[in-house]
Chain A
């Protein structure tokens, strides 16, 4: 039975992915990509990874999908119909087929010759769990055992926004999807947004012992923000630029502060004080949730503002 589900999923996922890739319509591709994300979420559950499933649904399918759709809309609005573009040349086709078959062949060869790993890392995890300050192993890994990775990862997110901001003007961003003056939607939103916020908080809270955590919660928060944004309620116009930036950096800043404080406290970087792990992790997660929400929102908003200036020779100033 399980095997059947798995195989169905396998075929489904691959079929959707295939359609997504080969479809002549870009819109269809994007839609199929979102669909794929949802299918994958089911797959992740099948793999025993509900955390990833949540993240995939919220971030992989949700946020990415919205971003893609938004961009697509932007492209469409300015009249670039992707159907006009000629099909790629045969040379590309051949190259692509050869290369992808190589890759698949190699991977299959590797997969079917898997040796038994010498190290069972889950044993180490189980062993270290009591000291982690949380009971959910994934959160433990993310925010304690390998918190350094997470710190850098948040850095990546911040950096993405930073680059976006650096490319942005100071002018108010013009929206690709104009605000919807639909009263029905407005009514829906008034219901939906609080629900999303609560879900987000729940996910954050759940993270310590159940699937969920800052990323999923942040994604949910971002979804709420984006909905608001689309419906014309712009966060950036509600709060000052400085506040916005502070919010973006809050998670990273708190994380870094905690890390540095441990350093000043005579412990290695990111090592929590004894007994304080749970609290600090919660603090970090809280800050991260807010920041991730804002970051994802910013990523959504900054993409569609005109460039601020063009390069003219050596840009030289004192």
Chain B
């Protein structure tokens, strides 16, 4: 049980929880948070799994995760812009047809 494996597993867990939240919730903000959890989990898996395989610190994958984090924050920001606009227009924090189920 090395650090890499533990954090890979941690990433797996985060992915699972995030995925759960993404499906379970209808509130758009919650789903965005869930998405961020998946993202964080994925980043953990990326680094942990790669380093576990390579056996050493892997700078390439770390750099890629940096890129990923920036993309994720951009996505979150974009999502928030849309959510707020949606909220302004409809006064709702969820998509209409999701109420059905």
Contact = CB atoms under 8 A, between A and B. Distances in A.
B and A form one assembly: yes
A113 to B, nearest CB: 11
Interface string B64-78: 111101111111111
B17 A18 contact: yes
Contact of A6 (B3, B12, B76): B3
A71 B29 contact: yes
B59 A125 contact: yes
B57 A48 contact: yes
Q: State the majority secondary structure of interface residues on B.
A: helix
Given A2-B3, A59-B73, A89-B101, A141 B19 contact: no
Nearest to B61: A121
Contact of A29 (B3, B30, B45, B56): B30
A75 B87 contact: yes
Contacts, number: 264
Nearest to B45: A107
Interface string A210-238: 00010100000000000000000000000
Interface residues of A, number: 95
| Dominant secondary structure of chain A at its interface with chain B | helix
A150 interface: yes
Interface in A255-312: 292, 296, 299-300, 302-304, 306-307
A95 B23 contact: yes
Contacts of B84: 71, 74, 303-304
Interface string B34-57: 101100100111011101111011
A248 interface: no
A20 interface: yes
B29 A157 contact: no
Given A68-B33, A91-B101, A100 B12 contact: no
Interface of A: 2-3, 6-7, 9-10, 13-14, 17-18, 20-21, 26, 29-30, 33, 36-37, 40, 43-44, 46-49, 51-52, 55-56, 59-60, 63-64, 67-68, 71-72, 74-75, 78, 80, 82, 85, 88-89, 91-93, 95-97, 99-101, 103-104, 107-108, 111, 114-117, 120-122, 125, 137-138, 140-142, 145-146, 149-150, 153, 156-157, 159-160, 163-164, 167, 213, 215, 292, 296, 299-300, 302-304, 306-307
Given A14-B10, A75-B87, A82-B93, 10 more contacts: A17-B14, A21-B17, A43-B7, A47-B47, A60-B72, A96-B23, A122-B59, A146-B60, A159-B74, A302-B81
Interface of B: 1, 3-10, 12-21, 23-27, 29-30, 32-34, 36-37, 40, 43-45, 47-49, 51-54, 56-60, 62-67, 69-78, 80-85, 87-89, 91, 93-94, 101
14 contacts: A3-B6, A6-B7, A21-B25, A48-B51, A52-B43, A80-B87, A96-B23, A100-B23, A104-B13, A115-B53, A121-B54, A141-B59, A153-B71, A215-B70
